[in-house]
Structure 1
Amino acid sequence: MSLTSMVEGLLGQAKQLDAYLAEKKLPMPTWERDTLAELPAELQNVRATLSNDANNFAKLVRGPLMSAMDIAFSWTDVLSLTVIYHYKLAEAVPADGSASYAEIASKTGLDEDLVFRFVRAAMGNRIFAEDPTTGRVLHTATSRLLATNPGFGEALGLQLEEFAPAGSRVVAAWDKWGQNTSELNQVALSLANNTDLSTFQFLGKNPQRAKRFGDAMHFYTDDDTWDLRHLMAAFDWHALDQPGALLIDVGGGMGQVSQFLARHTKNLHFLVEDLPYVVSNAIKALPAELQDRISFTVQDFLEPQVVGKTADAVLMRWVLHNWHDVYCVQILRALIPVFKPGTKVLLYEYVLEDSPVLDQASRFGMQLDLIMLTGYNGRTRTAAQFHKVLTAADPRFVLTGVHRPAASIMSLIEVTWTP
C-alpha cells in the first residue's frame, strides 16, 4: 500500500467525522476542545479507526530507528506528566484564563524555573499552551481535563506514581526472586517501595494511596464498555434463573454484581463471599428489597469452600487476572466442594486475542498484562491460557465457550463441571 493510498484512507474517515460535525453545527476539534467526544457510537468507531490508522502511518513515516527512539525517550514525557500531576500545576491555571510561570510557581511551591521547564516539555504533547503575545500559560483540552476532573487525575497518578516507577524495577525483581516466582510480595512494586508486603497489603497500610487506587479503578471502569449489561448478554441467565437455584459470587465484595443480577432475574439466589471486613460492611449496605435473595458469608477463596451446600453456578468477576497460574489452580480447586454435575463456573475477565494485536484499542490488554506482572505476578490471559489453567486445576473443568458481547471490553469464560 502506498503512502498516498494510506492518506486517502485517512481522508475518507476524516470526511465522515467532518460531515457530522458540520451537520450538527458543532465546532471542528482543536487542541483546546475535544468536540469529537460528542460523536455518536457508530462514528466513535470511525474515530478509533482513524486514530489507529493515523498512528500506524506516522510510525511508518517516522521509520524504525526514530520510532524506537521515540519509545526509549518516552520516559521524559512520563516524567513531565508526573511533575504536573504531583505539584498540581494544571490546577494553578484558571480554567478559562491564563497564568504566568511565576504565578504557577507561587501557587504550587515548585521552583519557577522548574515550572517553566516541565510545562514547556508538556507543551510538546499538547498539554498546556503559551500565549505568543504575553508568554502566559493557557489550558489545552488535556490540561483543562486534568485540572477539572479529579478521577482523570487519579487515573493518571496511579500509573505515574505507582506502576511506572515499579515497572522500571521488573528486571531487578527477576534478578532478586527469579523470573518464575508466583509470590504476591516478590514483585517489582514491592521492590520499588522497599517492602516485603504484597501490593494489596502495602496499599492497605497506605490509605491515601489506596484511595487513589480505588478512585482510579472507578474512573477506568466508568465507561459503557465495562457496563454490567454485557454480563447479562454473555450468558443464558434465563436457563439458570430457576426456583431454588444458587449462584456463589466468589470474591464478590459488596455484592454489586449480585445485586445487578438479582434485579434482572426472578428466582436465582446469591451467596456473596469475601473477607470478614468486607462482609461486615456489605451486610449493612444491602438494600432491603434484596435481602431475601442475597446473603453474605466469609470465605478466603484460596481455601476450600466450607459453605456446606452445592451451587448451580459460581461466578468470579475480575479475580484470576490478579494471580499467577499456580494460585489460579489453587483458587479453582478450592471451589470443588460446592460443585455438582453441570455446575457452571463463570469467569468474567479480559481475554486477550490469540494472535498479536496492533491496533491502539486492543493494546490495552497487553498493557494490563504488564501491569499485572509488575504489581501482582498475575497476568491477562488468552482463551488458550485459561484452558491450560483450568485443565491443570482438574480435567473435569470443561471450557464450554468464551463469549464477548459487542461493545464489551470483558468476556465471559463459561466452564461446566463435568465429572
Structure 2
Amino acid sequence: MTSLTDLAVSILVNSKTLDDYAKEKGVSTSAEDRPDWRNAPVEIEKARLAIEDAADSIKRVARQPGAFLYEQFFKYTDISVMQFLYYYKIPHLVPLDGTTTYATLATQIDVQKVVIQRFIQNAIVIGYFREDPQTSAISHTRDSRQLATDPLLFESLGMILEEIMPAFLNAVPALRKWPLSLEINETGFTHANNTSKTMYETFETDPLRAKRFGGAMSVFNREAENSLPHLLSHPVWSALDKQCGERPALVVDLGGSLGHLSIALAGITKTVKFEVQDLPKTVDAGVKAAPKELVEEGRLRFRAHDFLTAQTETADRDVVDVFFVAQVFQNWPDKKVVEIVRNLLPRMRRGSKVLVHERMVPERPRATNEGRRARSGDMLMGSLLNGQIRTPQQWREVFREADARFGEVSFNTMNDRGLIEVTLES
C-alpha cells in the first residue's frame, strides 16, 4: 500500500530529475513558464508521467468523499470558458507583449464587462491569462499565448468544441437509437449532425469544416510525432535493409497520407523501397511534396488505392514485405479492419508482415494519466466513427479472424503508441 508520504517522495525525486534536465537545457520549470517536455529523452518522459500519476493519486486520497462529482461538474464550466475564448477569439485580442483591460475587451466584442470578467477569471483559474493584482490588467500565460500564435492549435480547439464535444454528448442517444450498430454512419457524430453520412463524407461537402478538421489533424499528428524516434529505432527496419535476395525489401504505407512516415523511414534505411497508398487527391499532393532524390532513386513512389478494395499483384505491383499501417485501423470497427487486412493478402507471401503503428489500451483499465488518455481516445473514435483503440487480445482476435495463416502477434510499446507486428506464416 502506497502512503501519502511515499507518493510525495516520488514526486520530489522525479521533480529533481526534471529540474536537472531543464537546468541543463537552460529553461525554467516554474508554474508560470512551464517548459515544453515534448521530444525529451525516454527517462525524462517516464519521470514526468510518474509526477502526473503520483499527484493525481495524492489528490484522490486527500479529496473529501463525494467531491469527485463536483469536480466533474466543474469541467462543464471549463468547456463554456473555452467556447467563449474560441468564439470571441479572446487570445488574439490580448497583446502578445503587453496587457489589456476588461473595459477594452468589452468594447471590442460588445459584451458586458461583468460577463467578460466572469469568463476571463474562470479562464485564469484553469491556466489561461493572468490578472495583475494591482491594476487588474490582463496578459498572456504560455497556454493562452499559444492559442494566439498557433493557428492550427486554435483550429483544433474549434474542432474539439464544434465536432468532438457534440459527438461525445450524442454517443448515448446514438446508442439508444442504434443499440446493436457498429456502422460508421450510426454514431454520436451522425446523431449530433442529424445525418446518415459519415464524418468524412460530411466534411467533404463543407470546406470550412474540412479546413478546421485538417488543421486539427495536423496538431494531433504533431503530438503523435513524439513516438517517431521510438518507431525509427525499431529493429525491423535494419533487418529489412539487410534482407538478401534479388530485390530490395518493399514497404507499403497504407493510408499513408503525404508519406511523412515513409520519408522518415527512408532516411534511416539504405535500400528499402516505400510505396505510399492513399486516395487520389492525397496521392497527387504527396507526389508534389515528395523529396525528388528519393523518387529518382526509385525508393519512394505513390499509388492511388482505396484500402477497402483488394490489393492487386501485377507486373508493377511487387510482393510486399511489410504493410505498414499507421493510425488507420483505429478509425474502423473490427469487421472493417478484418476486411482491410484480408484485402492485403493478394500482395503478401509467406514471411510478409503487417506492422500497425497506433495507440493501444491495456487489457485492464488503469487509473493513470496514460491510461485515461488511451481510454479517452477509444471513446473518441467510438463516438466519431464507431472505431476502436484495441487491447493486445483484441488485436490477436482481429488477425485470427482475418486469416488463420497469421502467426503470433507481438507488441512493442513506444511512448503512447505501440507497434503491433504479425507475420503471414504460410
TM-score (norm 2): 0.88
Partner of 1:366: 375
**How far apart, CA to CA, are the structure 2 residues paired with 1:145 and 1:37?**
15
Residues 175-215 of structure 1, C-alpha deviations (whole Å, 9 max, x = no match)? 1222x322211111122122221111112222222222222
CA distance in 1, matches of 2:14, 2:113: 43
CA distance in 1 between partners of 2:165 and 2:94 (Å): 26
In the other structure, the counterpart of 2:287 is: 283
Of residues 45-54 and 297-306 in structure 1, the stretch that sits farther from structure 2 once superposed is 45-54
**In structure 1, what is the Cα distance between the partners aligned to 2:96 and 2:161?**
23
Distance 1:298 1:224 in 2: 25
- The change in CA–CA distance for 1:130 and 1:375 in structure 2 (over 3 A counts) is same
Task: Report whether the alignment pairs 1:325 with 2:334.
Answer: yes
2:189/2:384 contact within 8 Å kept? yes
Q: Structure 1's 284 and 359: CA in aligned 2 closer, same or farther, altered over 3 A?
A: same
Does structure 2 conserve the Cα–Cα contact (< 8 Å) formed by 1:234 and 1:404? no
Tell me the distance in 1 between the aligned counterparts of 2:369 and 2:377: 13
Provide the alpha-carbon RMSD of the alignment: 2.6
CA distance in structure 1 between the aligned counterparts of 2:131 and 2:252, rounded to whole angstroms: 56
Greater shift, 386-395 or 206-215, is seen at 206-215
Cα separation, partners in 2 of 1:393 and 1:79, compared to 1, 3 Å = same
Question: Which residue does 2:365 correspond to in 1?
Answer: 356
User: Any gaps of 5 or more consecutive residues in structure 1?
Assistant: none
How many residue pairs end up in the alignment?
415
Partner Cα separation in structure 1 for residue 40 and residue 406 of structure 2 = 42
Q: What CA distance in whole angstroms lies between the structure 1 residues aligned with 2:304 and 2:20?
A: 57
1:417 aligned residue (410, 415, 424)? 424
- Of residues 291, 295, 317, the one that matches 2:301 is 295
Structure 1 residue 71 displacement after superposition? 1.3
Question: Which aligned pairs between 1:7-406 and structure 2 lie closer than 5 A?
Answer: 7-15=8-16, 17=18, 29-31=30-32, 33-35=33-35, 41=41, 42-178=43-179, 180-223=180-223, 226-241=226-241, 242=243, 243-291=247-295, 292-308=298-314, 309-405=318-414
Q: How far off its partner does 1:418 sit?
A: 1.8
Kindly provide the amino acid, as one letter, of the partner of residue 250 in structure 2: L
Contact 1:93–1:138 at 8 Å: present in 2 too?
A: yes
Cα distance change on mapping 1:206 and 1:64 into 2, 3 Å = farther
Partners of 1:87 and 1:109 within 8 A in 2: no
Superposed displacement of residue 90, structure 1 = 1.8
Task: For 1:222 and 1:231, locate their aligned partners in 2 and report how far apart those are by CA, in whole Å.
Answer: 15
Q: Distance in 2 between matches of 1:400 and 1:39?
A: 29
Q: Deviations over 1:308-342 (max 9, x none)?
A: 34222211111100000010111111111111111
Aligned mates of 1:275, 1:362 — CA distance in 2:
33
Kept in 2: contact 1:80–1:122 (CA 8 A): yes
Contact kept, 8 Å, 2:275 with 2:301, in 1: the verdict is yes
CA distance in 1, matches of 2:113, 2:177: 41
Deviation of 1:29 (Å) = 0.7
For residues 187 and 233 of structure 1, do their structure 2 counterparts lie closer, same or farther at Cα, with a shift above 3 Å needed? same
Distance 2:88 2:185 in 1: 30
Between the aligned residues of both structures, percent identity stands at 34
> After TM superposition, which residue ranges in structure 1, 4 or more long, deviate above 6 angstroms?
19-25
What is the CA–CA distance in structure 2 between the aligned matches of 1:27 and 1:310, rounded to whole Å?
52
Structure 2, unaligned runs of 5 or more:
none
1:78 and 1:239 map into 2 onto residues whose CA distance is 48
Mapped contact 1:305–1:336 kept (Cα < 8 A): yes
Cα distance in structure 2, aligned partners of 1:14 and 1:274: 44
CA distance 1:20–1:402, change in 2 (3 Å): closer
Distance across 2 between alignment mates of 1:367 and 1:144:
26
Q: Is the 8 A contact 2:351 2:425 kept in 1?
A: yes
Distance 1:23 1:301, change over 3 A: closer
CA shift, 1:227, in A, is 4.7
Report the secondary structure of 1:351's partner residue: coil
Return the letter of the residue paired with 1:411.
G
Q: Secondary structure at the match of 1:254?
A: coil
DSSP-derived class of the 2:325 partner: strand
SS in 1 for 2:340: helix
1:240 counterpart SS class: helix
Cα contact 2:170–2:189 (8 A) shared by 1: yes
Q: Distance in 1 between matches of 2:177 and 2:35?
A: 49
Structure 2 vs 1, CA of residues 23 and 61 (structure 1 numbering), >3 Å: closer, same or farther?
same
Are the equivalent residues in 2 in contact too, given 1:401–1:413 (CA < 8 A)?
Answer: yes
For the residue of structure 2 that corresponds to 1:402, the secondary structure is strand
Whole-Å Cα distance in 1 between the matches of residues 24 and 350 of structure 2?
A: 58
* Counterpart Cα distance in 2 of 1:63 and 1:269: 59
User: How far does residue 54 in structure 1 lie from its aligned partner after superposition?
Assistant: 1.4
Q: How has the CA–CA distance of structure 1 residues 382 and 224 changed in structure 2, closer, same or farther, with 3 Å as cutoff?
A: closer
Letter in 1 for 2:412: H
**2:262 counterpart letter in structure 1:** S
